[in-house]
Structure 1
Amino acid sequence: MIMEAIPFILLGVIISGLIQTFLSERWIARVLPGNRYMASLLGCGVGLFFPACECGIVPITRRLLRKGVPLHAGIAFMLTGPIINPVVLFATYIAFGNDWRMVAIRGGSAIIVAYATAIVLSYLYPRLPMRLREDAAAETAAGAEFAAAAPAQASIGRRLYDVMLHAVDEFFSVGKYLVLGAFIAASMQTFIPTSSLMELGSNPVSASLVMIGLAFIMSLCSEADAFIASSFRSTFSVGALSAFLVFGPMVDIKNTLMLLGVFRGRFVLVLIGLVAVSTLGVSLIVGRLFG
């Protein structure tokens, strides 16, 4: 799991460093719509341009929030990014035997779940629910940017050096949560038999809940989970498979611990609960529509 995730963590922290160095708060404020509904919708679509998995998306989201991106737009991006990016959608297409229907179901379900979760959170949390040390770090970063306020005078070499410095800091900040999460996920996969969970999937609700639980426990990278999901086609319905394909990249053991390193614990629990309920509801609708 660690070896599978590290390349995407590296990609994520480098993008985070680029955001920190080259994007100003003023530019972000000018681009983002002021309306929470439109901003959340834009956040859902940005993931098309960021080929990051659920491990690499957390440091990118943290940096965007520090730069002034509203919580609802940041969460919408964080939840959809690991699913609707072109690499994951193409992997889904190949895994399900060149079936565009599963690609559309996965992408559409992810956008619905992320959008609903982001809108609800925008009302529940008008202020950023960052951990105390994250709040302090954001204030320090803002002060440093204000003190250095002449980006045009800095050479491109110096700015790229700053990118790498930020990337290194982010890597060691989130990397420890990745290692711990991978260890816990591997332990659960070893000691909890998959067959015992599959026996519980006797009706649409329990089947979707089982697949949500499997997605959380297995903690697969979003670039690879479609190949595992396709192996369950003879056992579970399309609705249950969509629950696995949507919930896993949004919430698993690895990124839950990474989220706990950024956000307050209560917020993370609310986030997971909203994603789980939304995923369950959407999967039942998919099951009704597509059998």
Structure 2
Amino acid sequence: MTTFTPFTLWPLLFSDTFKTSFLGILLEALPFVLLGALLSSLLRVFVPDEMISRWIPRRPLPAILFGCLLGILFPVCECGMIPLVRRLIHKGMPLYVAIVFILSGPIINPVVYGATLMAFRSHPELAYTRMGLAFVVAALIGLILYATVRKSPLRLSIRREGSEVHQADTRGGRVAAVLVHTSDEFFEMGKYLIIGCLLTAGIQTFMNQGSLSAIGERPLGSYVFMMGLSFVLSLCSTSDAFVASTFLHVFPAGSLLAFMVLGPMLDFKNSLMLLSLFKTRFALYLFFLIIATVFTGSVLASLWL
């Protein structure tokens, strides 16, 4: 077993592996954060509050279905979800619907479906099952949150944002307001993204591949391995299917599904962003629900595959 000391860790932090991993994850994620910030700003400036409220069904089941399918209209990666959902909550979207959108949106959209189908050309059933499992997991968590959460878990500073007067809206017109709000959202989310990318690149550089492979050979170990790997790698939902396909003949199909469903719902980057949006207690509760339902659903789906 390799022992790391400050003298061995310091050169590794500036190694080509670390720098390549960090820049790769960051450059992959930044466009989607910018896209999410831009969509958030467009909603903020051009979409009236009453319109968002009017779109969302009043009853919980149709509202959850609406949240699950909203990703088809807003094909945003998980990196850009948080600023967009923040704005939707301010526009009147109920919390449980917003969470459903956060979980399902990065997976149930045409871009990700096409990428998954391309990665698993010889096994298209994995693409269909990925969409179905993401839908079921998101809907189930939405129902649980609707039944169990009564008080707003949003952080105080975010709740106050909706009542502040944004002078940018009256300075330079709507186009200028969109640019100002986009830059504000982008830099606010960007700091959490950079921290997540640093942690992810560090783990990719230092983790022991042999030990992780040995864990994957134990009963149900492949599920734990692939779910942990998806959390650590923090891949974009448009590219994670290509990584999962490399394990096609090593691990069972259910564990590949767990990798492709958990990663877009919960990884290093978006867990930090979720902690910035929600109170810690609620965020940890949400993390538990995601892990438990994805694991259970993936094991059950493997019986069908």
Question: TM-score normalized by structure 2?
Answer: 0.87
Q: What corresponds to 1:151 in structure 2?
A: none
Query: Contact 1:178–1:254 at 8 Å: present in 2 too?
Result: yes
Residues 1:43 and 2:58 are matched in the alignment: no
Q: What corresponds to 1:224 in structure 2?
A: 239
2: distance between equivalents of 1:198 and 1:88?
Answer: 27
Any gaps of 5 or more consecutive residues in structure 2?
A: 1-24
Percent identical: 41
Which amino acid in 1 is paired with 2:204? Q
Which amino acid in 1 is paired with 2:42? L
Which amino acid in 2 is paired with 1:5? A
Question: Per the alignment, do residues 163 and 98 of structure 1 end up closer, same or farther by CA in structure 2, a change over 3 Å counting?
Answer: farther
Which amino acid in 2 is paired with 1:50? F
- 1:1-291 counterparts in 2 under 5 A? 1-97=25-121, 99-140=123-164, 158-202=173-217, 205-290=220-305
Question: Per the alignment, do residues 202 and 82 of structure 1 end up closer, same or farther by CA in structure 2, a change over 3 Å counting?
Answer: same
Question: Per the alignment, do residues 204 and 59 of structure 1 end up closer, same or farther by CA in structure 2, a change over 3 Å counting?
Answer: farther
Any gaps of 5 or more consecutive residues in structure 1?
A: 149-153
Listed one character per residue, the Cα deviations across residues 129-180 of structure 1 (whole Å, up to 9, x for unaligned) are 1111111112226xx69xx8xxxxx89x822221121111100110000000
The 3-state SS of whatever aligns with 1:200 is helix
The 3-state SS of whatever aligns with 2:107 is helix
1: distance between equivalents of 2:68 and 2:161?
Answer: 27
Which amino acid in 1 is paired with 2:288? G
Question: Cα offset for 1:205?
Answer: 2.9
Listed one character per residue, the Cα deviations across residues 41-75 of structure 1 (whole Å, up to 9, x for unaligned) are 10000101222111011111111111110011111
1: distance between equivalents of 2:124 and 2:213?
Answer: 26
Which amino acid in 1 is paired with 2:190? G
Q: Give me the CA root mean square deviation.
A: 1.8
Which amino acid in 1 is paired with 2:275? L
Number of residues paired by the alignment? 280
1: distance between equivalents of 2:227 and 2:128?
Answer: 19
1: distance between equivalents of 2:300 and 2:258?
Answer: 11
Most deviating of 225-234 and 99-108? 99-108
Query: Contact 1:205–1:280 at 8 Å: present in 2 too?
Result: no
Question: Cα offset for 1:203?
Answer: 5.1
Most deviating of 116-125 and 229-238? 116-125
Question: Cα offset for 1:206?
Answer: 2.6
Q: What corresponds to 2:21 in structure 1?
A: none
Query: Contact 1:204–1:287 at 8 Å: present in 2 too?
Result: no
Query: Contact 2:53–2:91 at 8 Å: present in 1 too?
Result: no
The 3-state SS of whatever aligns with 2:251 is coil
